Every structure is written in structure tokens, then in C-alpha cells.
Amino acid sequence: MASHGVRGRSGGRPTLEEVAARAGVGRGTVSRVINGSPRVSDATRAAVEAAVAELGYVPNTAARALAANRTDAIALVVPEPETRFFAEPYFSDMLKGVGSELSDTEMQLLLIFAGSDRERERLAQYLAAHRVDGVLLVSVHADDPLPDLLTQLEIPAVISGPRSAAEPLASVDSDNYGGARSAVEHLLARGRGRIAHITGHLAVYGAQRRVDGYRDALREAGHEVDEALIEPGDFTEDGGRRAMAELLRRHPDIDAVFAASDVTAAGAGQVLREAGRRIPDDVALVGYDDSAIARHMEPPLTSVRQPIEEMGRAMIDLLLTEIADRRPAASRGLERHQVVLATELVERRSS
């Protein structure tokens, strides 16, 4: 009968040697059974498993990882300042998805910020020592050197949002182009004719694709694209305030705004109210992310929902596959994984 409270001869946790003695086999045979090796007979496997159950043996995962040249650790790397990470719901939702998918594994998750040059140098040294089995990269700009460093070090990696259409690393993203199109099409259907766009940080490929979707939706509806109605932002609330103030200064006749994030839309909404513009009567407002911010704004914000938690889970699934394969995605050519998840427009009273 199994007894999980049995102690080893030393009075502590049962050891591998004690399992081997109980099963009547060598230490190496026990190790092969525990690690799932097929080079063991059914009878021997049954004897070892019975000894493990009788003694209540718990494998030393650290030792196993060392023997397999693994760390059983994954790094979630955010090349942004900590203040932005904790201020924007996108990051917490991503972390929630990653954590939930990782909870059923023995992997440890390390959260690493790399928003400054010093932090990046320290991270490069840490990664060069191969202290993690894989890396998740979130919020990466086109000129960020970290993805190339991971490729050079042959560390499995998955990126949240590719840097370009030719991204060599495995990536998970939402349909930024389609999401932006749906936002603009919605505003056009509401009879809006002067639709401005406050962009995200244009060094981010996803922000570029949202601009593409904005332009194409206008063109296909027979509207001329006025580039002066596109104001650069950076996904932040302050960026939304600055961009909205500039748009009102140049184009006081705008009747709708599509913002590249809910946080940006919140900043834009503050400026609109301060200028005496009613939402949506005078200016309709649409955001992106469908975060808690969208639901708590007044009026509640129409927003493009991207499945951020699902993106986090998909990133973990891809990374565990990369780690099991041990070949960097860049070396596999057409085998690289690019996952794009659908978006959905959630209509509320702001539009």
C-alpha cells in the first residue's frame, strides 16, 4: 500500500538510492524510469513505480533540470519602464494569461524589465549564461536588439507582435489591421466624416498595421485619407492628451477619433471634455484593447477587443514547443510559427 508519509533511512525525504534498493535495480535505472526513458522493460518500470509510490519519493526537479542542461525557468522580458508596465492593463492581462498557462508545468516564471541601457546590458549577461530555457518578449520595438541577441544565443523565444512582416522569431499577435478597420467602419456607419486617428508608438509593427487598417477602411468607403488627421501617439494616456490637443488645434471640425489603445482614448477623452466637446454627440471616440478602462469610462468606451490573456497562453504553448524542439525558430525557415488571433469590436455609448 502506498504511503506518502514514509521517510528515508536518514529520516528525511526518500532518496533515489533508497528507491533503487526497494525496487532491486540500479540508481541509473530509477533515473531512466523517472525521466520517461523507453529503454526500460515493463516489469522493471512497474517495480520502480511501485517503490516510488511506497516510499513517497518526490524527484528533485532541480537536479533533473541540471542533468538535462535545463533550468526549468522562463523569462518574460518587457523592454519598457516599470511604470508603464504597471499603468497599462495590456501588460497585466498578458501576464495573467502567461501565468495561467504555465501553472500546470514545473516551469518558473521570471519577470524582467529592460527599459534602460543598463538593464539591457545586465539582461544580456544573464541570458548569455543560459540561466533560462526560453524567453517571452512583450512590447518590442522594431530597432530592439534583444530578439537578435536571443537568436545569436540560440535561446528559444516567442515575441508578442512581430517586428515586421518578415519576423524570423515565433510570434503571437492579434489582427491589428482588421481591428482598426472594424473601428473605422463602425464610425463611418454612424455617419462620421472627419475621423482622426491617434496612433500607437510607430516603432511597433502592430501600431503600423492599425494605421494601415484606418487608411484602407476610409479609402474603401470612398473617403480621401487626410494624413493631417493622423497624429502620432505612444499608447500612453499622456500621449493621448498631447495628440488630442494638437488635433483640436489643427482640425476643430473633427467628429470622431479612433485611438490606438484604451489608455490613449482615456487621455483624448479628457481633452475633449475640457474643450467642451460632448462624447459622442460632438466627437465619437473608439479605443483599442477592451480593457477595464473602457468599461469604466464615462460614457463607456467602444473598443476593439484583442484577446490578450489568450495571446499570453498561446505564447507559452509556442515557447514550450520551441524549448522541446531546442532549435531556434530562425533556423527553421518556413516552419516558424506566426499566430494571429481575431479581434472583435465591442460597442458602447462613446460612439
Q: Per-residue pLDDT tens for 166-214?
A: 888 889 999 999 999 999 999 999 999 999 999 999 989 999 999 999 9
pLDDT in tens, 30-74: 767 776 666 678 899 899 889 988 888 876 654 555 445 567 889
Taking CA 64 as the corner, what is the angle to CA 331 and CA 111, rounded to the nearest 5 degrees? Answer: 65
Contact 271, 244 (CB under 8 A): yes
Which residue in this structure is represented by grid cell 515493463?
42
- Pick from 102-111, 224-233, 263-272: least confident: 102-111
Closest C-alpha to 46, from 35, 30, 60: 30
Q: In this structure, what DSSP letter does residue 67 have?
A: H
Cα–Cα distances in Å, from 149 out to 26, 78, 127, 146, 181? 43, 15, 9, 5, 35
Domain 73-174+309-327+336-341 in CATH 3.40.630.30:
no
At 334, is the secondary structure helix, strand, or coil?
Answer: helix
> In this predicted model, which residue has the larger pLDDT, 274 or 335?
274
Fold agreement between 16-68 and 73-174+309-327+336-341: no
CATH for 16-68 is: 1.10.260.40
CA atoms within 13 Å, Cβ hemisphere of 252:
3
CATH for 176-305 is: 3.40.50.2300
Domain boundaries defined on the chain:
16-68, 73-174+309-327+336-341, 176-305
What is the pTM for the complete model shown?
0.74
Identify the pLDDT of residue 36: 65
Cis bond before residue 81 (omega within 30° of 0): no
Mean pLDDT (the chain, rounded): 86
Taking CA 343 as the corner, what is the angle to CA 290 and CA 293, rounded to the nearest 5 degrees? Answer: 5
